[in-house]
Structure 1
Amino acid sequence: MNPGARLSAAIEILDVIEMQRRPAAEALKDWGTSHRYAGSKDRAAIGSLVYDSLRVKSSAAWLMGSDSARAVLLGALRSLRGQDLDAVAALCTGEGYAPAPLDDAERERYAAGTLDGAPDHVRGDYPEWLAEAFGAAFGPDAVAEGQALARRAPVDLRVNTLKVDRDKALRSLAHLHPEPAAYAPTGLRIAVGEDGRAPALAAEPAYVKGFVEVQDEGSQIAALLSGATPGQQVLDLCAGSGGKTLALAALMENKGQIFATDLDGRRLMPIYDRLARAGVRNVQVRAPKGRQTALDDIQGRFDLVFVDAPCTGTGTWRRNPDAKWRLRPGALEERIKAQDEILATALACVKPGGRLVYATCSVLREENEDRLRRLIEAHPGLLPVDAAHMAREAGLPDLAAHASPHGPGLRLSPLRCGTDGFGIAMLRVQ
């Protein structure tokens, strides 16, 4: 496929995503299935165009004066990729499956369009209905935080210290040019290419052998802040596919015991292969019974209960840019209800003197500080642990600068520390 045809394909897929409200990954997969002549490089390039357009959907539409798929793609080529007018006009010829030529209005908008007068949610590329929540969370930085969440994310890896140290992992992946992470002592970061493509890690020997796991540095930090140590009894209550379970097992040096469970048993399925590849031996997986966790026999016995709560995922928009436009207020309400229920379950599992760590990949106060405030009000014996103390105890004192101004714990974000958006807090049970 020529570059112009790739633009046309991206516009077609963006139309499907908008009209059918489908996840981008599904729309791209279906397009690839019905257009088998497109090679892997074509599909990757088209996917990158689609995701880049979704990152800046709102501001791109404002720049071009239209919210059509074509206008959004053109706006993204200008604002995110920095392509000049002549280069884009050369791709839009109407020949060989290329998009139709630019009309006079498009040329004028592309050359001189600005975001002057645009509201904050447009300049920050987040949904209008979340404007108030973003303002409450970030204050005057709301637009800048939204823009940071619209940028491409790097590939972050966690070195599995059950098998290798970071120096060996760096040598094993030297051809991918990894760099040490800014905070996490076992973290690595690989920059994505100019086209947004990430390396095929599943084919890398270092990954196959379990030397590294794909995990955002913010997620790694959440595990580090938990203070898990060898010999403890730990419950990972929302384990999902096991990313934090593996990180906790490495911190515990395979000593003690981790129970891993999740309300959605389907999300647990990848954990078995991941545990085996990583050489983890101290994890017991508890599949749910229906929609209930199988925890009746182990309540009140844990030194640490880790809750990576299901949330709106607003902190992961760099990796899932289509998700922010599919999110609706009802989803937030459902997540808040689930978070309160999960926190109540978690609290029943912590032994006196134990700790409850609550984390979300959300940047919203409603899912972080507000949930903890409600829990503490209902249980006066819960003591929030000072964020600076958490950071020092984890050997990460620089993180104290990211203490939340709204309540217990820390706040991480792409703008402030280069990670996904996270809320992380610790409560001690008296």
Structure 2
Amino acid sequence: MAIKLLSQFLVILVVLVSLFVNNLVLASEQYKDPIVIGMSAAFTGASKNLGLELYHGSMAYINKINQSGGINGHPLVIKAYDDGYNPLPAIENTVNLVEEDEVTVLFDYVGDPTVTKILPLLKKYEAKNIMLFFPFTGAQSMRQVPYNQYVVNLRASYREETAGLVDHLLGIGHKRIAVFYQIDAYGRSGWDGVRKALEKYGLDIVAETTYRRGTEYNSSFNPQVQILQEADPDAIISIGNYQACAGFIRDARDANWDIPIANVSLVGSESLLKLLLETGRKTQRDYTQNLINSEILPSYEDLSLPAVKEYRNAINSYRGKSPITKENYTESGYNYVSFEGFLNAKLMVEILKRWTDFSDQDQLHEIVDHLNDFDLGIGVSLQFKHPEHQGLHQVYYTTVSNNKFVPLKDWRKWSK
């Protein structure tokens, strides 16, 4: 009898141990270590909407992926730091991300003055296999040697955006083009793009004026307006952030100067438009006429595109917080910046799925070189190739109609 009871006890014990071990295995599969990617961006200051929107769009996609089991069972986490759109904090943040947080890759950095300053760090950390993916900048420095091997770009370059704007403006008879730009790496990069585009036609910039990074909307831009007015240009191309560019437009229109003013995509179109509409309601004046913006993505209103539907559904269901203040972020809605962040995350997830050995830099380069087979769902193919490591080259154009930016289909309304 005792032997029989002992046998039954041993059977029960084996079953319990087996269940315990199985539960441990299941738990380990369910709670794998997270994959951490590092972000430094402006979450405070005059350009904060750019960082917040880019993060918001990326997190909308990542949240969906994590709810579906993550990347091969690993949740994906963005470790984000605020740099206020200033170089020194961006450098410090990058050091922390690489040395303290030991992130897998850097991701979603915002702006030229910050990104250009951290490029030497990428070279320094070459042995750690650190690369920067999809920075929110079109600067040339990360698309050519020696730093192109450490950066993977999704968006078109400033040279492509400004060349497109110049080509279209010249095509409708606007040969005298002036430039208003931020006096830093971002502004000079765009200024150089305009200069090179005009040079092809034997033309030059007829006048230029600048402003300091961090200048806010409530500042006066009358001096800059007066400088450009004296040169009598046909059109102006602005290279700046939404607050300064909106302030310049406001003061130009208040001076009854209604010539076409164009902005590049990094301006943050919807944030710029919001400021102009708010001022217009107070002054009973329309500040949105004769505005042109270049964009590096198709319209987020184009529901014929699979990625647009996917993006809008994700934004609708995601309730994000600022990674810095942890406050609910309610500014959002649909916009070009968060759409870009969403697509950045979509492509980043695909890369991480294919990258089986995070210590193998050669494998990562091989993956990037073969990303052209991946369909982002925006109607154009990826075109990653050496040396610029850039996936998209298409430039789109928008103008304001019924208080929102819409695709620009006919430039002839501004013909001279």
Tell me the TM-score normalised to structure 1 length. Answer: 0.33
TM, length-normalised to structure 2: 0.34
Rg (Cα) greater in structure: 2
Q: Which one scores higher on RCO, CA 8 angstroms, separation ≥ 6?
A: 2
